[in-house]
Amino acid sequence: MSKFNRDILFLIFEVLRNDSKSLFSCLMVNRFWCETVIPILWRNPWCYDINYKNKDYLFIIIISYLYNDINEFLTRQEIQLPLLVSSQSLMFDYLSFCRSINIQTISTIISIGSPLDYIQFNLQQEFYSLFIKKCPEFKYLDMRSIKPQIFHFPEAKACLESLCELKCDTFIDSSYFYGLARLCQYIQRLVIFNRNTNVNHGIAKLIEVQRNLKYFEWIDGLYRNLYNPYREILLAIEKKADIINHIKLKFMYDDITLRQVIPKLHKLKTLIVTCFGDFNKDQLNYHDLVVIKIAHITLYDVSTIIESSGVSFN
């Protein structure tokens, strides 16, 4: 009977997985509820709408795994760990439930330990090495602002090869993406924030090696680029025409390559483009299209695309 109850609870908590307030309140009911909800909370503990800079307990939990290894180093640097940090066993093996890394959030948590760049750098190395060792696999990685090349850790291949979703930015050096391309070839969802005026060849390579890319999103954060940042990326996307279903492009300016590539992505279900100049609407034939949003397009053009595609909207 207890197993049945746990299964039911687990299904309920799964429905609430994005409702952090409800999940946190469940921790206080009893140990049984707590044991059931902890794995869900820690699957992606960086996604909640909370101020992570004030969450000392997250820093304490993570640093507790490293107490014996890092305490001496921090003592030499005259860094005093919180009193709650000790070498005693934690109530749960929290990191074994984790399936995600968010670089920016983890950096915020690390800053709780020390404001000094040197200390934070060393803590980052220790934290990411720990995550790679303790987490059996990652499904989600937000590597914006990344510094350590996490794919160099010995356990990285087993941990990253099942990655499903990646968020990154073009400011990251191409070498990071070359390393990921060697390990991660089954990414389904890729979101890129453009923050660099130069072309990032590594991202194009990462796209090329993907075997199951379903969703691609590009978000421009620059108003002017020294070079064309789109062409190489779009040509890589073109090679995924048989598998990609969702395209969302927030470009700052029109690009001729975009007009050449978009009609070839024949399996699209979602097409959202913010900058799409003159195009031949008769070329846009998508039999599975569900969502279409193109800047400055007329209702007549939309109806023509729908008619030529034979799409039936609910």
- Per the domain annotation, does 144 fall within a domain? no
Instruction: Say whether both 312 and 172 belong to one domain.
Output: yes
- Per the domain annotation, does 178 fall within a domain? yes
- Per the domain annotation, does 119 fall within a domain? no
Q: What is the pLDDT along the chain (314 residues), one digit of tens a residue?
A: 445 577 788 888 888 787 778 888 888 888 888 888 999 999 998 888 778 877 788 888 888 888 766 666 666 665 655 555 555 678 889 999 999 999 999 999 888 877 778 888 888 888 888 999 888 899 999 998 887 778 788 888 888 999 999 999 999 999 999 999 999 999 999 999 998 878 899 999 999 999 999 999 999 887 665 667 888 999 999 999 999 999 999 988 777 888 889 889 989 999 999 876 666 666 677 788 888 888 777 777 777 777 666 655 54
- Per the domain annotation, does 138 fall within a domain? no
Report the pLDDT value the prediction gives residue 245, as an integer from 0 to 100: 96
Q: In what order do the strands lie in the sheet with 165-169?
A: 100-102, 140-142, 165-169, 189-194, 215-220, 246-250, 270-273, 291-294
Domain count, the chain: 2
- Per the domain annotation, does 65 fall within a domain? no
To 10 degrees, the CA torsion angle through 17, 143, 104, 197?
-130
Separation CA 237–CA 216 (nearest Å)? 8
- At a CB cut-off of 8 Å and minimum separation 6, what does 86 contact? 64, 67
In Å, how far from its chain's centre is CA 146? 12
Instruction: Say whether both 37 and 169 belong to one domain.
Output: no
Report the pLDDT value the prediction gives residue 1, as an integer from 0 to 100: 42
Instruction: Say whether both 168 and 314 belong to one domain.
Output: yes
Instruction: Say whether both 180 and 35 belong to one domain.
Output: no
Q: Which domain holds residue 301?
A: 164-314
- Per the domain annotation, does 97 fall within a domain? no
- Per the domain annotation, does 64 fall within a domain? no
Instruction: Say whether both 168 and 313 belong to one domain.
Output: yes
- Per the domain annotation, does 251 fall within a domain? yes
Report the pLDDT value the prediction gives residue 314, as an integer from 0 to 100: 46
CATH number (domain holding residue 199): 3.80.10
Going from the C-alpha of 283 to that of each of 105, 173, 218, 259, the distances in angstroms are 43, 36, 23, 10
